[in-house]
């Protein structure tokens, strides 16, 4: 089975001094455009209760180039894409999916988006608009599709990356009649219904001493000085390394789960509310539940697998996976418990994973009637819980 999907390939590249200067101007113009029209929209709404559409902003941008001639030095496509990003940010705000858009700052991550008419891809080399030299990209892997857009990014750590968006034909993974239920945790990243445990690497916790030292060094420097910039970049590099290690671990874990199972049942967690707990917020952020679920979602969609999300309030830990008895209370410190009805002794996480799988199969079977009898899926979850 084949499917056409949109994929993004991310590579690191090493620009020359001239390219760094040009990209710095491009990032600055994109940031200025975004902030200018964000301020304009905010002011017009406060004073006149008037909204400004993308087309109106695009028309105003043309006259803005006469007032600020240096905007003409960079590709106009990047500036138009900044307006689209701003428009999308407001759409997400009105749909209550995000907070009100904020102004972009120079010290943070910078990016510029190019569409198909503003770059060339010939013989494995990419040249941006108004640039003659190709980008020095480190091709860690190749793609087969034709690039339709790309995004150039400079991290706060000073590293340059390019994200190339292509449409490719993806072949589904071979069918495997196996289902798995996942229980997400802090001590262990996941626990499966078979008792398999993947420990939490705790990348952030292991580097707390280094980060604390970097924060102290940055606090002692005079803001705006060269030593302050050096300390800020050193601290940003330390955080970037932690993020890279976490993403590498979660990518490998999610690919393994998708490759070995046909159906993956996972509990839905309200991470945004959970990180408000001041005692667990750092640990929850370190384990990366949201990122893992996001990776599983798009990989299951690409490779023909099924991801089922169980309701947040489903009592997976309190429910006996053997007889269905439900406990009234179960403290977080209790890692094992004995069922009062059938005397079965349960490991908290393994029992929760079994219940998540059983509940997930209940939701999955009515949607996929064609799989009943072929893979062992039952609407009552009888293949997991008697």
SS (H, E, C) 335-371: CEEECCCCCCEEEHHHHHHHHHHHHHHHHHHHHCHHH
Active site residue 91: no
183 is an active site residue: yes
DSSP 326: B
Indicate if 205 belongs to the active site: no
Q: How far apart are CA 91 and CA 348, in angstroms?
A: 42
- Alpha-carbon distance of 181 to 262, in angstroms, equals 11
Strands (E), 226-328: 263-267, 306-310
Q: What share of the chain is helix, strand, coil (3-state, %, to 5)?
A: 45, 20, 35
Q: How far is residue 355's CA from residue 322's CA, in Å, rounded to a whole number?
A: 9
Bridging pattern class, strands 188-192 and 179-184: antiparallel
**Long-range contact list for 134-139, CB < 8 A, 24+ apart?**
135/13, 135/15, 135/19, 135/162, 136/13, 136/14, 136/15, 136/16, 137/11, 137/12, 137/13, 137/162, 138/11, 138/12, 138/13, 138/14, 139/11
User: Hey, what are 355's tokens?
Assistant: 């219940």
Q: Which of 155, 183, 286, 359 is catalytic?
A: 183
Catalytic residue among 87, 155, 179, 267: 267
Residues 214 and 235 sit within 8 Å (Cβ to Cβ): yes
Distance CA 381, CA 386 (A): 8
Report angle CA 289, 238, 235 to the nearest 5 degrees: 120
Of the residues 155, 286, 306, 349, which is catalytic?
349
The CA dihedral of 96, 99, 101, 106, to the nearest 10 degrees, is: -150
Cα separation, 120 vs 115, whole angstroms:
10
Catalytic machinery residues: 183, 267, 349
């Amino acid at each position: 089975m084949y499917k056409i999907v949109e994929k993004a390939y991310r590579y690191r590249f090493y620009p020359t001094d001239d390219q760094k200067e040009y990209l710095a101007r491009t990032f600055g113009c994109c940031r200025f455009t975004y902030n200018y029209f964000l301020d304009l929209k905010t002011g017009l709404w406060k004073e006149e209760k008037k909204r400004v559409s993308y087309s109106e902003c695009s028309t105003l941008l043309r006259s803005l180039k006469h007032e600020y001639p240096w905007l003409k030095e960079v590709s106009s496509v990047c500036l138009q894409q900044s307006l689209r990003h701003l428009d999308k940010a407001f759409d997400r705000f009105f749909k209550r999916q995000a907070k009100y858009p904020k102004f972009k700052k120079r010290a943070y991550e910078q990016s510029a988006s190019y569409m198909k008419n503003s770059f060339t891809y010939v013989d494995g080399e990419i040249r941006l608009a108004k640039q003659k030299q190709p980008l020095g990209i480190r091709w860690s892997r190749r793609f087969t599709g034709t690039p339709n857009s790309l995004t150039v990014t400079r991290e706060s750590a000073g590293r340059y990356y390019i994200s190339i968006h292509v449409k490719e034909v993806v072949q589904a993974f071979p069918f495997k009649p196996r289902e798995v239920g996942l229980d997400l945790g802090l001590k262990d990243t996941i626990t499966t219904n078979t008792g398999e445990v993947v420990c939490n690497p705790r990348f952030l916790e292991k580097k707390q001493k280094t980060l604390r030292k970097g924060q102290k060094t940055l606090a002692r420097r005079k803001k705006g000085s060269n030593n302050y910039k050096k300390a800020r970049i050193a601290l940003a590099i330390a955080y970037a390394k932690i993020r890279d290690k976490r993403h590498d671990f979660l990518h490998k874990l999610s690919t393994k789960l998708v490759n070995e199972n046909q159906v993956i049942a996972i509990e839905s967690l309200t991470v945004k509310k959970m990180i408000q707990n001041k005692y667990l917020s750092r640990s929850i952020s370190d384990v990366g539940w949201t990122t893992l679920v996001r990776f599983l979602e798009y990989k299951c969609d690409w490779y023909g697998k099924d991801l089922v999300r169980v309701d947040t309030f489903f009592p997976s830990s309190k429910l006996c996976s053997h007889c269905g008895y439900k406990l009234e209370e179960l403290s977080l410190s209790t890692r094992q418990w004995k069922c009062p009805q059938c005397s079965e002794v349960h490991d908290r996480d393994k029992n929760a994973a079994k219940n998540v799988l059983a509940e997930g199969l209940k939701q999955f079977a009515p949607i996929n009637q064609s799989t009943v009898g072929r893979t062992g899926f039952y609407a009552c979850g009888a293949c997991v819980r008697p």
